[in-house]
Amino acid sequence: MNAPHDFRFKRNTMLKRTISLSLLITASTVWSNSAIFLHPDGTGLGHWNAARLLIAGPDGMTNWDNLEVLSAYRPHQKNWLTSTSHAGATAHAYGKKVHYDSFGMDRDQPLTSLSGQSMTILQEAMSKGLRTGTVNSGHIAEPGTAVFATSNESRKNTLEIAQSVMESGLDLMFSGGETFLLPEGEIGFFGEPGLRTDGRNLIEEAKSNGYKVIFTREELLLLPDNTDKVIGIFAPGHTFNDNIEEEVQQKGIPLYRTDAPTIAEMTAAALRILGSDPETDFFVVIEEEGTDNFSNKTNAAGMLEATIRADEAIGVASKFLESHPERPTLLLVAADSDAGHPTVFAPRNTPITTDLPSQDPIGSPIDGTNGSGGTPFVSLPDQFGNRYPFGIAWATAYDMPGSVVAKASGYGSDRIGSTMDNTGPYKVIYSVLFEEEDQN
């Protein structure tokens, strides 16, 4: 990503690939209610407004733009004006506000969900016979998906959380995180040693429990529709390298691992498999983790790459809804906070070859394609044929309330209302999966 042209070329190539992937999701016949919760972690309006310029231009429409219903989202927890990723995931999974340092509990206290069950909405769906899965571009213990499958007194207990997710009984799990699943020192598929101090090889145990375990994009794309139990581990840690721009350039590493499937590819395979049985409903939780992590590093190039990848996954999920009009399925897209609160910095009457300043007049840092200042990003043409240089100005490196919105399409999407609390995704998804219109 050394120039704006390279960035746009890469995006166009990926968009073509995503379109072809979405066509692999075939239509079927008799259905009832299912739900897709797609969580682009840490995304606010600034993320989507900036990504649109590169995907479609100022007057174009992204997959996110084309979702049918929009709701202003309120991210506060019971003791903080915003949320952490693990507390936000807990609110989504249980339908209740919690202490900001909570991972499927209320800090260190067991949690009962809004339905009165001592389990998450994903676990309740599994208990009622639905097909269930999680998809994450980060590692397997990332809270945006892991909280739906397990709880723990601390997010820092990564090895415990990884074990619990692997033993959760979900039908499908796609993520990175191989090193958390292997005994200490054992070299894994990706050439890195395991970190487990209990001597357990959770990958071999999963195979013994009937799971098919895969590691490559090629294996993912070749999975049969009728695959029963599958775990995909696509990186030793995250599938991305969430460093600051200067470090990425110094090390000569890509923003995302080139050998790992994208979140769109994982989503396409998950929907193909979980949605293959016309007699069984499904619920899947999907997270693009890079949107949050790159924003927390104020890495604009990485943030844009991650947001566009999230949009491609939204496109795949939207295509699933379009291809299965006879199957009532909700697609709900929501984040838990606005990481970094990025803003498009658009200089006036400036040639696209002019370098950006490193900060604005009040000191906000401004990123171009290679980090602070320097070469600008360049939009696709507007309706008048004009292309514009721009940078990303950062308000912070933290997760803040910002400008988060939820969007939805498909069955039950009208239930999200004009405003949504962070307990709202639980309520809407629950009402769709179990046909209960009201949750107290």
Q: Is residue 236 part of a domain?
A: no
Mean pLDDT over 139-154 rounds to: 98
Q: What is the pLDDT of residue 24?
A: 43
Angle, helices 45-55/300-323, rounded to nearest 10 degrees: 80
Does the pLDDT of residue 383 top 50, yes or no?
yes
Count of domains observed in the chain? 1
Q: What share of the chain is helix, strand, coil (3-state, %, to 5)?
A: 30, 20, 45
Asked, for residue 29, whether it belongs to a domain, the answer is no
pTM of the predicted protein model: 0.92
What CATH number should be reported for the domain holding residue 317? 3.40.720.10
Query: How distant is the alpha carbon of residue 4 from its chain centre?
Result: 25
Residue 203: Cβ within 10 Å count = 21
- The helix (H) or strand (E) run that includes residue 268 is helix 263-274
pLDDT of 279 reads 86
Q: Is residue 141 part of a domain?
A: yes
Residue 368, in any domain of the structure: yes
Please identify which residue in the block is written with the tokens 């080139």: 258
Residue 215 domain-assigned? Answer: no
User: What's the pLDDT tens digit per position in 231-271?
Assistant: 999 999 999 999 998 888 889 999 999 999 999 999 999 99
| Residue 91 is assigned to a structural domain of this protein | yes
Q: Which amino acid is residue 274, in one-letter code?
A: L
Residue 11 C-alpha from the chain's centroid: 18
Full domain range(s) for residue 323: 4-18+41-170+290-434
* DSSP letter (8 states) at residue 46: H
The band of 26, judged by pLDDT with boundaries at 50, 70 and 90, is very low
Question: Coil, helix or strand for 276?
Answer: coil
